[in-house]
Amino acid sequence: MSSSPPSAELSPLARSLVTFVRERALLFPGERPLVALSGGADSCALLLLLCEAAAAGLLPQPAGVAHFHHGMRGHDADSDAGFCAALATRCGVPCLIELGALSQANEAEARTARYAFLQEAAVALGAQIIATAHHADDQAETVLMRVFRGTSVAGLGGIPVRRANIIRPLLFARRSQIESYCAGRGITPRHDPTNDDPRYPRQRVRTLLPELAASFNPRLTEALCRLAQHAVEDAALLDQLAEQAHGAADLRTLARPIRRRVILRLLWEISDGDEALREELATAAWVIRLEQLLEGEETLHLPGGWGASARLGNLVFSKRTPVPDLSGWCGELPVPGAVKIPDNRTLKATLGPPLLAAERSRRSLRVDCGTIPEILTVRRVRDGDRIAPLGMNGKTRLVRDLLREAAIPIAKRTSQTVVEGEGQILWVVGIAQAESTRVAEGAKQVLLLNVTQTDD
């Protein structure tokens, strides 16, 4: 990759992209990016700009593009995929397309599946970096949303220009510049109408930003992006000071911003690589409570079976010894048949016609399964349990992550019930059922599982 100044023959936006990539060290020699291509103006512009810079010898040629068809928008999404394949051909780069089955998925599940595919596509195409097309307007919207919710200095940093192997080379550019660039290249990008849905907070903020700009600051987007950059720099300095203070003899002597970061680091340490536990521990609420604990003598019970106490201005963490659960159980459920499960409930297995579409619910206590084993195993959730949820195209998830996303309290997660058939989890009761239980079209008889309250 050449270190010479961007060529005058490049378009102004391409010159700015090359400068941004170099200043932020987003690509190193030998690294080729995979472009996440949705078909919208942003990702189309990103692909064209990278190819333009590559043709001038200033940036590496993209290794290819990847398009994830979520399976959520019917024929429009089919057309998006076809458009992306055609644009990749025009640019002379390979294109990978994956079809998901996420018609019932929420926004978070769709994003998880999309990014998992991007990582797989990067490996398949020999790309070391994944480039997404977030831009300055996205950044301003993100910062404003976090301000409305209440956030820390780190949260004000908004969308990072780089996280792991994912880069955002367009964070300097405005939406209007991107759209003009596409028009100048004869590209009519695809439009996803769900981006206009006012039910989504981002769309409401997107509508509000021009009103705020007209009332307070015509350069509000630039101001919010500048705030994000300052916050990133300030947070980095505070993190550096916290690292130096880590292991301080008396946390009470530290300035509050440093003390809170030191406490956060301690919480990261005890989570020991458990991402789900870290997500629960590393919150402002627990940091504040631990900070208050420094002045007291009681013991604070933390998620994951941890306890914390204060000693001479420092925090001492200890793993609590769990109280033996003498009511643990694991039983067989014949088909048809019934078995008692926790919380005074009964799980029944019967055979019958499939449920009507209106009767199906992801959070229901009644499901129909195309899989009909002779014997089912019913037991409590165990660490490491995984399920391939319906609609996730065979990708497995940790059951504990599903329970966390369903807002099941930590204390109740180990008492949740799963139903197994032939060694695979078919149903996390009331939370998710497996892809393998999908009822085939035209099925006349299926397995019906139903949970009812037991009268004592």
| pLDDT tens track for 143-195 | 999 999 888 888 899 999 999 999 999 999 999 999 999 999 999 999 888 77
pLDDT of residue 7: 61
CA 117 – CA 97 distance, rounded (Å):
9
Across the range 329-345, mean pLDDT stands at 82
Q: What is the pLDDT of residues 233-274, one digit of tens each?
A: 999 999 999 999 988 889 999 999 999 999 999 998 888 877
pLDDT of residue 59: 95
Burial class (CB in 10 A: 0-12, 13-18, 19+), 403: buried
Confidence of residue 326 (pLDDT cuts 50, 70, 90): very low
pLDDT of residue 47: 97
> Same topology for domains 12-133+168-196 and 246-319, yes or no?
no
**CA angle centred on 20, ends 88 and 142, rounded to 5°:** 85
Across the range 130-149, mean pLDDT stands at 95
CA 254 – CA 175 distance, rounded (Å):
43
Lowest pLDDT segment from 32-36, 404-408, 449-453? 404-408
Lowest pLDDT segment from 6-15, 207-216, 377-386? 6-15
pLDDT of residue 394: 80
How far are the Cα atoms of 28, 48, 142, 376 from residue 17, in angstroms, in the given order? 15, 11, 21, 58
Does the structure show a pLDDT above 60 at 328? no
CA 68 – CA 341 distance, rounded (Å):
40
Lowest pLDDT segment from 42-51, 95-104, 260-269? 95-104
What's the token pair of residue 260?
Answer: 């809170």
Output the CATH code of domain 12-133+168-196.
3.40.50.620
pLDDT of residue 42: 96
pLDDT of residue 322: 52
Does the structure show a pLDDT above 60 at 68? yes
What is the second-level CATH architecture of the domain 246-319? 2-Layer Sandwich (3.30)
> Could you tell me what percent of the chain has a pLDDT over 70?
94
Of 30 and 214, the one with more pLDDT: 214
pLDDT of residue 166: 96
CB–CB of 13/52 below 8 Å?
no
Does the structure show a pLDDT above 50 at 323? no
Lowest pLDDT segment from 17-26, 83-92, 253-262, 276-285? 276-285
What's the token pair of residue 349?
Answer: 């297995």
The owner of tokens 């996390």 is 428
Across the range 287-310, mean pLDDT stands at 86
> Could you tell me what percent of the chain has a pLDDT over 90?
52
- Phi, psi at residue 433, to the nearest 5°? -115, 160
Confidence of residue 205 (pLDDT cuts 50, 70, 90): very high
pLDDT of residue 324: 41
List the helix and strand counts (H, then E) for the chain: 14, 20
The domain spans of the chain are 12-133+168-196, 246-319, 330-453
Confidence of residue 327 (pLDDT cuts 50, 70, 90): very low
How far are the Cα atoms of 86, 90, 112, 128, 151 from residue 93, in angstroms, in the given order? 10, 8, 25, 16, 41
**Any idea of the CA torsion for 288, 294, 299, 302, to the nearest 10 degrees?**
30
Establish how many alpha carbons lie within 13 A of residue 308's alpha carbon, considering only the half-sphere containing its beta carbon. Answer: 23
pLDDT of residue 38: 94
pLDDT of residue 220: 96
Does the structure show a pLDDT above 80 at 358? no
Instruction: Give the distance from CA 404 to its chain's centroid.
Output: 13
For all residues of the chain together, what is the average pLDDT?
88
pTM, entire model? 0.67
Establish how many alpha carbons lie within 13 A of residue 160's alpha carbon, considering only the half-sphere containing its beta carbon. Answer: 13
